Structure 1
Amino acid sequence: MNFEESYEHASLRKTVAQVCAGFGDDYLRRVIAEDGRTHELWSALGEAGLLGVNLPEEYGGGGAGIAELAIVVEEAAASGNPLLLLLVSAAISGEVLKDVGTDEQKARWLPAMADGSDKMVFAITEPDAGSNSHQISTKAVRDGDDWVLSGTKYYISGVDEASNLLVVARTGTSPSGRGEMTLFVVPTDDERLHRALIPVEVRAPEKQYTLTFDGVRVGDDRRVGEVGRGMDVVFRGLNPERITGAAIETGIARYALGKAAAYARERTVWGGTPIGAHQGVAHPLAAAAIDVELARLMTSRAAWLHDNGLPAGESSNMAKYAAADAALKALDAAIQAHGGNGLATEYGLAHLWGTARLLKVAPVSREMVLNFVATHTLGLPRSY
């Protein structure tokens, strides 16, 4: 096995870093302070051809895969500018459309996603279904050439930033009682689609919404994939979300450790010795760095498996689990190394804790990852 990074991947990392450097590591803090959105950085990455690296070339993408998208996600986060909507627009919606969308659907939606002029977000979570997606109750009923959607979704990210929403809806019930799901692309400005902002303590540009579908009508040309086979398609999109979720966490961790190491090399308190020379400061940072590199390896493995058409569920879940823990450990060690300064706005650390902590819960909770590994890796009886 050759673990040396290819020239193409190294160049991609450098390009993303250069674009993000033009905004500075205080860009996200300024956006958050103004309750704004990261439109400028998103557009800059799109103009550089970086948002659609995993999308087909004929639709304006880079013709590469999730391994390359994970690099974009990680390097943006490593610059201090994690972009959560890359996980749902490019990773989930982009991969689903690439895999099962018709030629007309790809031509209709992928170019704008690739150049950054538009986004497509994703709606699966419901108040009463939680992690049990088979219990989704939002329904889509056939009415002539149209489908009518009714129901509620919540914790849907970035609806205010996207023109379209990829929705998972129930179109039937299997003999075993499980829901048969189908995917639809719904315009976010439909007058029968109502949104309500969910107040959260995490400070981030990407806002969360409860959505109510009050008889939203869409044509069959907005159905993605086969009727009733939506869950098969969704799980092909959720692995990329887990992979890019891991990538954003490792990027945050690298950013935090970089800040901490620079501070610990320069900060002196007793006798002119930098605090980084003391093991009480150095060892927590070193241990965090080890965890980050282990998570990056699993993330790379998961992306490689996905891009090569091999089962990637196990590695994707493990990568997401490991990266979430690594990011929080790195942030905590970095804040501790700064002492009181770790909570000061100017040192640029504490504002990222909410995003890092969020990704320990979403897009799949650590408990569900452990359930998956217990059942699929260890062959233990299913616990739920």
Structure 2
Amino acid sequence: MEFRYSDTQQEIRTAVGELAASFGDEYWRKCDEEQRYATEFVNAMTEAGWLAALIPEEFGGSGLGLLDACVILEEMNRRGGNGAACHAQMYTMASVLQHGSDEQKRAVLPRIASGSLRLQAFGVTEPDAGSNTLRIKTFARKVNGGYVINGQKIWTSRFRQSDMYLLLARTTPYEEVQRKTDGLSLFLVDIARAGKSLQSRTIDTMLNHHTNEVFIDNLEVEDAWRIGEEGKGFQYLLSSLNAERLLVSSECIGDGKWFIERARNYATERVVFDRPIGSNQGVAFPIAKAHMNLCAAELMRNQAASLFDQGLNCGAEANMSKYLCSEASWEAAEAAMTTFGGYGVATEYDIERKWKETRLFRTAPISNNLVLAYVAQHVLQMPRSY
């Protein structure tokens, strides 16, 4: 067992941290005030090559492993940034990398690596299905040379900041499949080419997240842009989801470290009743406890990412990592909010901004209750709960 980060990963952490730190609190505060996408931040990370970390060198990327990518996103958030502005570009590529055709890879991966093509949007969730992905209704009807797709998606983040859309649709009705995981297919969709066949509506949220409802009306997609075999899309989707779980876990770790550092510094410097508030156990202990839980969650993330990089099954570990990291980050957020007191809700201290961002991760990209159900059924072999 090796618990230390490699020299390369330490170098990545330093380089990403320095770049992320150049976008300070005021930059992110301004994005929040204006409900503006962090274009400058995303462009800088793209130009530096960090968002192409997982793309093989032959396609213009760095060919790094998933744990390396985890360190990248962790450090973005640890320096006060919001990796959610660009994290999807890393995990949506997993389906293309592992199951796309050579033609698809040559067509999109070099352009993603250079920054001339953005693949930030992932269309899975639907209003009626929610987390029950197998019951989605968006349907791709087979026609000569391709498909015509109709349906509706919700919680499609960064759709308006993307050039391509990774879309999951039914190609066989649910009632006609032999196995419930069959009959779903993945498609790569050129958003500009789709024109009015794709219409979006912004969903206003309590944080600056840029998410949308997408309406799909007679969208034509050629056979060449279906990923892998027809009907195997759910299995291909899992390639993206395990990577997604671990990259989001890493953002949580970064957030948690940011909260703990801010809380520790404030508790040390803030003097009330003639002594630092950090000398009170009621202030110090929650921060210390959050730190310990975050360290433990980081080890689970590292184990899961190591399994992923070895090509081994990591479904249980990826799900547990997402749960543990998001809960530890939220604990750190609460400790920081309590430490700062009234100042915690003042925008000038940035606690409320990061507090809102990290709260989302307990609900998405998968509800933590669903992770508990998964572990109970598939890891502990308990009766199915849903």
2:338 maps to which residue?
336
Post-superposition Cα deviations, 1:199-252, rounded to whole Å, max 9, x if no partner, equal 222x21x31111111000011111111111001100111001111111111111
Unaligned runs of 5+ in 2: none
Once the two structures are superposed, the pairs formed by residues 99-114 of structure 1 within 5 Å of their partners are 99-114=98-113
Q: Please tell me whether the aligned partners of residues 23 and 81 of structure 2 are also in contact (alpha carbons under 8 angstroms).
A: no
1:178 deviation in Å?
Answer: 5.5
Post-superposition Cα deviations, 1:352-383, rounded to whole Å, max 9, x if no partner, equal 22221111111111111011100111111112
**Partner SS state of residue 130, structure 1:** coil
1:176 deviation in Å?
Answer: 4.7
Matched residues, number: 380
Q: Please tell me whether the aligned partners of residues 182 and 232 of structure 2 are also in contact (alpha carbons under 8 angstroms).
A: no
Q: Distance in 1 between matches of 2:351 and 2:111?
A: 33
2:211 is equivalent to residue 208 of structure 1:
yes
Once the two structures are superposed, the pairs formed by residues 292-371 of structure 1 within 5 Å of their partners are 292-371=294-373
1:111 deviation in Å?
Answer: 2.2
1:60 maps to which residue?
60
Post-superposition Cα deviations, 1:63-108, rounded to whole Å, max 9, x if no partner, equal 01211111111100111112214432211x2111111111221122
1:222 maps to which residue?
225
1:115 maps to which residue?
114
Post-superposition Cα deviations, 1:336-357, rounded to whole Å, max 9, x if no partner, equal 1111111111111101222211
Q: Distance in 2 between matches of 1:322 and 1:368?
A: 13
Q: Please tell me whether the aligned partners of residues 46 and 117 of structure 1 are also in contact (alpha carbons under 8 angstroms).
A: no
Post-superposition Cα deviations, 1:290-349, rounded to whole Å, max 9, x if no partner, equal 111111111111111111111111011111101111111101111111111111111111
RMSD: 1.3
- Alignment-mate amino acid for residue 51 of structure 2: L
Q: Please tell me whether the aligned partners of residues 37 and 210 of structure 2 are also in contact (alpha carbons under 8 angstroms).
A: no
2:88 is equivalent to residue 97 of structure 1:
no
2:185 is equivalent to residue 182 of structure 1:
yes
Unaligned runs of 5+ in 1: none
Q: Distance in 1 between matches of 2:55 and 2:181?
A: 32
**Higher deviation after alignment, 115-124 or 47-56:** 115-124
1:35 deviation in Å?
Answer: 1.8
Q: Distance in 2 between matches of 1:328 and 1:352?
A: 10
Q: Please tell me whether the aligned partners of residues 37 and 85 of structure 2 are also in contact (alpha carbons under 8 angstroms).
A: no
Alpha-carbon spacing, 1:335–1:54, altered in 2? closer, same or farther (3 Å): same
Q: Distance in 2 between matches of 1:193 and 1:368?
A: 30
Q: Distance in 2 between matches of 1:8 and 1:234?
A: 30
- Alignment-mate amino acid for residue 322 of structure 2: K
Q: Distance in 1 between matches of 2:143 and 2:32?
A: 43
Alpha-carbon spacing, 1:5–1:176, altered in 2? closer, same or farther (3 Å): closer
**Partner SS state of residue 220, structure 2:** strand
2:87 maps to which residue?
87
Q: Please tell me whether the aligned partners of residues 45 and 116 of structure 1 are also in contact (alpha carbons under 8 angstroms).
A: no
**Higher deviation after alignment, 167-176 or 220-229:** 167-176
**Partner SS state of residue 87, structure 2:** helix
1:34 maps to which residue?
34
Q: Please tell me whether the aligned partners of residues 269 and 275 of structure 1 are also in contact (alpha carbons under 8 angstroms).
A: yes
2:250 is equivalent to residue 251 of structure 1:
no
**Partner SS state of residue 51, structure 1:** helix
Q: Please tell me whether the aligned partners of residues 335 and 350 of structure 1 are also in contact (alpha carbons under 8 angstroms).
A: yes
Q: Please tell me whether the aligned partners of residues 181 and 234 of structure 2 are also in contact (alpha carbons under 8 angstroms).
A: no
2:271 is equivalent to residue 268 of structure 1:
yes
1:263 deviation in Å?
Answer: 1.1
**Higher deviation after alignment, 101-110 or 176-185:** 176-185
Identity %: 35
2:197 is equivalent to residue 192 of structure 1:
yes
1:116 deviation in Å?
Answer: 3.5
1:185 deviation in Å?
Answer: 0.9
Alpha-carbon spacing, 1:7–1:381, altered in 2? closer, same or farther (3 Å): same
